[in-house]
Amino acid sequence: MSANSNTFDSVKAVILSAHKSTTSEEKVSFYNRWAETYDRDVAVLDYCAPSLAANSISSHFNAVQEAAVVLDVACGTGLVAKQLKKLGFEHFVGVDGSEAMLDKARETGLYQDLKQCLLGEEPLPVQWADTFDVVVIVGALSVGQVSFSVIRDLCNVTKPGGYICMTTRSNYDNLEYKAALESELRQIEEEELWTCLEVTEVEDWERAVSEEEDGYISGAVYVYKKH
């Protein structure tokens, strides 16, 4: 077995162990432990969601990127902000449930503010209503992670005319969650709170880690503009 497959097998074991975390406290504890090796581990998975989301945001954003304030929800170690920085965005506020992940995000020097918040269980601060030019959540909207109900919060904290970018996985174990997420996205659009600008299905999202799947799993990027 090559060193590379050893690495992949060890990352796979880490991620599969996360599926055993059922309570919020267990999930936060898992991410606190994972923070130290997170960036290296997701690189092994060829995890491309941060760059895909950043490119989608940049392609739709038609104001001055350097002046935009971006809320990075479930920011983790700062992978999305790093990609957006390359594309000209400079002002970032980050939110995550894990203090250890926030410590790693802080080390990047990219964020003007970082806040610990258990998404789906604690509301985003009320004073953030209609504040952000861009709101992005990458990786967290999936089964066993963050409830899709948070997307109303994301809409609420976005400025009128601002952009909301979300991602989710399209593999078998996430299909029910994805269907419920898309139903809620449509419901919010029917309420005329936002307009869908983009839904992109991506075949090679990341390397599969479940025993039932091989090769790469697929995923999706959604971009909405708030009314």
What is the model's pLDDT at position 6? Answer: 62
Say yes or no to pLDDT of 4 above 70. Answer: no
The string of pLDDT tens digits covering residues 111-159 is 999 999 999 899 999 999 999 999 999 999 999 899 999 999 999 999 9
CA Rg value for the chain: 17
Burial 24-46 (b: 16+ CB within 10 A, else e): eeebbebbbebbeebeebbebbe
Token output for 188 = 């919010």
136 Cβ contact partners less than 8 Å away, ≥ 6 residues apart: 53, 57, 70, 71, 72, 73, 80, 84, 164, 165, 166
Nearest to 95 by CA among 121, 69, 67, 124: 124
The whole-number pLDDT of residue 22 equals 82
pLDDT digits (tens, 9 = 90+) for 9-57: 999 999 888 877 889 999 999 999 999 999 999 999 999 999 999 999 9
The CA distance from 32 to 16, in Å, is 16
Contact between 154 and 120 (Cβ < 8 Å): no
In this structure, what token pair is assigned to residue 182? 């898309």
Q: pTM of this prediction?
A: 0.96
Query: What pLDDT, in 10s, does the model give residues 149-197?
Result: 999 999 999 999 999 999 999 999 999 999 999 999 999 999 999 999 9
- How far apart (Å, rounded) are the C-alpha atoms in residues 222 and 197? 8
Alpha carbons 155 and 150: distance in angstroms, whole number = 9
pLDDT at 21: 80
3 pLDDT more than 50: no
Would you list the DSSP string of the chain? --HHHHHHHHHHHHHHHHTT--SHHHHHHHHHHHGGGHHHHHHHTT--HHHHHHHHHHHH--S-GGG-EEEEET-TTSHHHHHHHHTT--EEEEEES-HHHHHHHHHHT-EEEEEE--BTTBPPPGGGTT-EEEEEE-S-SSTTSS-GGGHHHHHHHEEEEEEEEEEEE-SGGGHHHHHHHHHHHHHHHHTTSEEEEEEEEEEEEEE--STT--SEEEEEEEEEEE-
